[in-house]
Amino acid sequence: MRIKSKLPNLTESIFSTMSALAKEYDAINLSQGFPNFETSKELQHLVFKAMQDGYNQYAPMRGDAELREMIARKIENLYGVKYCSHQEITITAGATEAIFNAVASVITTGDEVLIFKPAFDSYEPVVKLNGGVPVFIQLYYPNYKVDWNLVASKITHKTKMIIFNSPLNPTGTLFDVQDLLALQNLVTGTNIVVLSDEVYEHMTYDGQVHKSICEFPVLREHSFLIASFGKTFHNTGWKIGYCAAPKILMDEFVKVHEFNVFSINTPYQKAFATFLKDANNYKYLNTFYQDKRDLFLEGIKNSKFTFVPSKGTYFQLLKYDQITDENDVEFAKRLVREFKIATIPISVFNTHFLDEKVLRFCFAKTDETIIKATKILCKIQ
């Protein structure tokens, strides 16, 4: 039998490759972004309790009503903006499902989607699966500044969506008010939709604050705001996220959601509905991760790697051009084999595999793991 692949050039994701390699060589895994410490015991008990209380059948299609209400309140507390919990919020199987639904609900054959590179790896295939045409805007190490005039020049009558991600995975860049105003300016008076991936909203450092698209009135009306509990509550394996969007967008989003997964597992939603009542459960995440980022940077300050401190996400980029001129994928693989430390090479997220000799390190790890890793990194000459 022959089938025509819809994604003929797609190979295994770098996250799978590096995590598998880390396992094979028993390496410290700072590649795929996930914590190596436990999610809250209280939250785990809330899940068991919800199961014991009989919440084991289908949840409502858009998600548990109480959880959607708690999310609406969380957004209002953080950003001062209201979303209707009945009509404008949907619980999803992680942010990844939300990204898929948002794209699938508005993109059709030939529609152009602007994507900033380096970009999280799911954006491009999802756009292509839906017949869309990704249009890339490459940003550069170390500051990854957006040239908004360049972005404006890429907009055509076919542009249907702009995918925006702040704090930005994989670079740790945080876009500021000026960037969001520029983005708002671009979409004002158009039918361009923004997909705003804000899964690292609670991880910003050095006193800098995350600005959400919803704080900008025109952007709020044009955007799918996507967030993740996995990142915020240290349980990426639970795969629960959500999307908030104005009714006109959400009505289309739920059509995809309903026939994609229908609804998300019930007991976990019940647990999050209770857990979110206490804002202390997520308010201090920036301090928690700032300590880890600082521990990591302190540990490598005498190494041959160079860096600009991460402004957000739980990733830190390190440049290694003073160590070797090897290609970043080759160097990353050698680090696993020879030094037992796994990282993510940035070129795989760039246009034309642009290699700026930069690797991504995930510092969502126990202090012990971070210290062990930095000691190894200091030995690499």
Residue number, 210 or 220, with CB nearest to ligand GLN: 210
Residue number, 169 or 263, with CB nearest to ligand GLN: 169
- Shortest distance in whole angstroms from residue 169 CB to ligand GLN: 5
Amino acid type, 159: T
Q: For ligand GLN, which residue of 17, 130, 159, 169 counts as binding (CB under 6 A)?
A: 169
Q: How far is CA 63 from CA 89, 120, 168, 233, 292, in A?
A: 8, 26, 27, 18, 34
- Shortest distance in whole angstroms from residue 329 CB to ligand GLN: 16
Identify the three-state secondary structure at position 196.
Answer: strand
Binding of residue 15 to ligand GLN (CB under 6 A): yes
| Residue entry with tokens 């994989």 | 170
Binding of residue 32 to ligand GLN (CB under 6 A): yes
Residue number, 85 or 166, with CB nearest to ligand GLN: 166
- Shortest distance in whole angstroms from residue 144 CB to ligand GLN: 16
Token pair for 185: 């300016």
Binding of residue 310 to ligand GLN (CB under 6 A): no
- Cα end-to-end distance, the chain, whole Å: 51
- Shortest distance in whole angstroms from residue 316 CB to ligand GLN: 13
Binding of residue 136 to ligand GLN (CB under 6 A): no
- Shortest distance in whole angstroms from residue 15 CB to ligand GLN: 3
Binding of residue 29 to ligand GLN (CB under 6 A): no
User: Which residue of the chain is nearest ligand GLN when measured via CB?
Assistant: 33
- 84: Cα within 13 Å, side-chain hemisphere: 10
Identify the three-state secondary structure at position 92.
Answer: strand
Residue number, 307 or 349, with CB nearest to ligand GLN: 349
Whole-angstrom Cα distance, residue 200 to residue 68?
19
Residue number, 199 or 300, with CB nearest to ligand GLN: 199
Task: Give Cβ neighbours of residue 296 (< 8 Å, ≥ 6 apart).
Answer: 316, 361, 363, 370, 373, 374
Binding of residue 33 to ligand GLN (CB under 6 A): yes
Q: Is the dihedral of CA 252, 131, 262, 233 positive or negative?
A: negative
Residues in touch with ligand GLN (CB under 6 A) = 15, 32-33, 169
